Amino acid sequence: MKKFTCVNDIGPLDRALELAKEVKTNPFADSALGKDKTLLMIFFNSSLRTRLSTQKAAMNLGMNVIVLDINQGAWKLETERGVIMDGDKPEHILEAIPVMGSYCDIIGVRAFAGLQNKTEDYNEIVINQFIEYSGRPVFSMEAATRHPLQSFADLITIEEYKTKKRPKVVLTWAPHPKALPQAVANSFAEWMNRSDYEFVITHPQGYELSADFVGNAKVEYDNLKAFEGADFIYAKNWSSFIDATYGQILNIDRSWMVDSAKMQLTNNAKFMHCLPVRRNMIVSDDVIEGAGSIVVPQAANRVVSAQVVIREMLKAL
Ligand code: AN0
Ligand code: CP
């Protein structure tokens, strides 16, 4: 595998899930594979889970790991070509990328959507430049439009917890005080659409996601109706995708919070969220602390998804 930015890069999902099982059952089986190989993790944005789980995955494979926080100690990087660099950014990404590539064997990049310019975000300007100019295999640790390591871990988790062959999985928008990217929701939809589940997306009017990601999912504007009979509730906030209000918060309708009254409409559903989550905005305390909450095992599976991807990349070096 030379790049991992979306579901298509992993190949058939049945096989990916088999590899995940292998890695989870025996995490140290390939501890010699990464000997003398270096993973460079580059963060343009904050992280708790991605940073720790990806580093742990690389360590399980015997790799050395370097982590760089671009906004804490590195030079600020200009990402647009043709700019007269008389502002606050002393270095261009076109020099920085091949330099960083020269210090490692595999690169992981986190670069969120800026939410200022839809075209720039949806063209994945930053991660695509890493793919083009680093000379190394590159994987996404959440880029502008997708978070594939999260979605892969989400899929692994659903497979572990489902009690029927074809569960009803509901992605529900929930309120949040800050504008967030669509990446987690887009990516989750992309992976769910590739799986044989009953997949429903529910959100208020105005929060429609790109049709490219919605695919064949059922969109249900009635939040309570969407919850009926659900086996999994996956909560996430995202900002507006539509042109006129791109990246903006349209409303903070607190009635969209996931609470126990809504969970009672479900088929004893498991509650999922990628974390970090704002309690009593996205989800009530009792739901996230309740027996149906699987957010911690879901986060734990981030090691597994990362290890599968890095292992595939090491094998192809
Ligand atoms: C980020 C997002 O919504 O994309 C990262 C989630 C994994 N969340 C926040 O910035 C709170
Ligand atoms: N879910 C997730 O990617 O978390 P972090 O932002 O903490 O890495």
Please tell me the distance between residue 54's alpha carbon and the centre of ligand 2 in angstroms.
Answer: 11
Q: Does residue 176 line the site of ligand 2, with CB under 6 A?
A: no
Answering whether pTM is above 0.95, one says yes
Q: Do 34 and 58 contact (CB within 8 A), yes or no?
A: yes
Please determine, for residue 221, whether its predicted confidence score (pLDDT) is greater than 90.
Answer: yes
- Residue 207 has a pLDDT of 98
- Residue 230 has a pLDDT of 98
DSSP state at residue 99: H
Q: What is the CATH number of domain 3-146+302-316?
A: 3.40.50.1370
**If you average pLDDT over residues 19-42, what whole number do you get?**
98
Q: Which atom of ligand 2 is nearest to the CA of 53?
A: 8
pLDDT digits 0-9 by tens, 242-299 = 999 999 999 889 999 999 999 999 999 999 999 999 999 999 999 999 999 999 999 9
Of all protein residues, the one whose alpha carbon is nearest to atom 4 of ligand 1 is 181
Q: Which atom of ligand 2 is nearest to the CA of 45?
A: 6
Of all protein residues, the one whose alpha carbon is nearest to atom 1 of ligand 1 is 180
Q: For residue 236, what are its two tokens? A: 């996430």
Q: How far apart are CA 193 and CA 199, in angstroms?
A: 7
Q: Do 151 and 187 contact (CB within 8 A), yes or no?
A: yes
**If you average pLDDT over residues 30-38, what whole number do you get?**
98
Q: How far apart are CA 261 and CA 34, in angstroms?
A: 49
Please tell me the distance between residue 36's alpha carbon and the centre of ligand 1 in angstroms.
Answer: 33
Q: Which phi and psi angles does 208 have, rounded to 5°?
A: -60, 135
Please tell me the distance between residue 218's alpha carbon and the centre of ligand 1 in angstroms.
Answer: 24
Q: Does residue 135 line the site of ligand 1, with CB under 6 A?
A: no
Q: Does residue 299 line the site of ligand 1, with CB under 6 A?
A: no
- Residue 17 has a pLDDT of 98
Domain boundaries, the chain: 3-146+302-316, 148-298
Please tell me the distance between residue 222's alpha carbon and the centre of ligand 2 in angstroms.
Answer: 29
Per CATH, 3-146+302-316 and 148-298 having the same topology is answered yes
- In DSSP notation, 10-72 reads G--HHHHHHHHHHHHH-TTTTTTTTTT-EEEEEESS--SHHHHHHHHHHHHTT-EEEEEETTT
Please tell me the distance between residue 302's alpha carbon and the centre of ligand 2 in angstroms.
Answer: 9
Please tell me the distance between residue 182's alpha carbon and the centre of ligand 1 in angstroms.
Answer: 9
Q: Does residue 184 line the site of ligand 1, with CB under 6 A?
A: yes
Q: At what angle do helices 49-60 and 295-315 cross, to 10 degrees?
A: 50
Please tell me the distance between residue 315's alpha carbon and the centre of ligand 1 in angstroms.
Answer: 31
Q: Which atom of ligand 1 is nearest to the CA of 49?
A: 7
Q: Does residue 181 line the site of ligand 1, with CB under 6 A?
A: yes
Fold of the domain built from segment(s) 148-298: Rossmann fold (3.40.50)
Please tell me the distance between residue 55's alpha carbon and the centre of ligand 2 in angstroms.
Answer: 13
- Residue 51 has a pLDDT of 98
Q: Does residue 115 line the site of ligand 2, with CB under 6 A?
A: no
Q: For residue 310, what are its two tokens? A: 């890095």
Mean model confidence pLDDT for the chain? 98
Q: Residue 140: nearest ligand to its CA? A: 2
Question: Using 50, 70 and 90 to split pLDDT, how confident is the model at 73?
Answer: confident
Please determine, for residue 239, whether its predicted confidence score (pLDDT) is greater than 90.
Answer: yes
Q: Does residue 263 line the site of ligand 1, with CB under 6 A?
A: no
Burial of 15 (0-12, 13-18, 19+ CB in 10 A): exposed
pLDDT digits 0-9 by tens, 128-178 = 999 999 999 999 999 999 999 999 999 999 999 999 999 999 999 999 999
**If you average pLDDT over residues 233-246, what whole number do you get?**
98
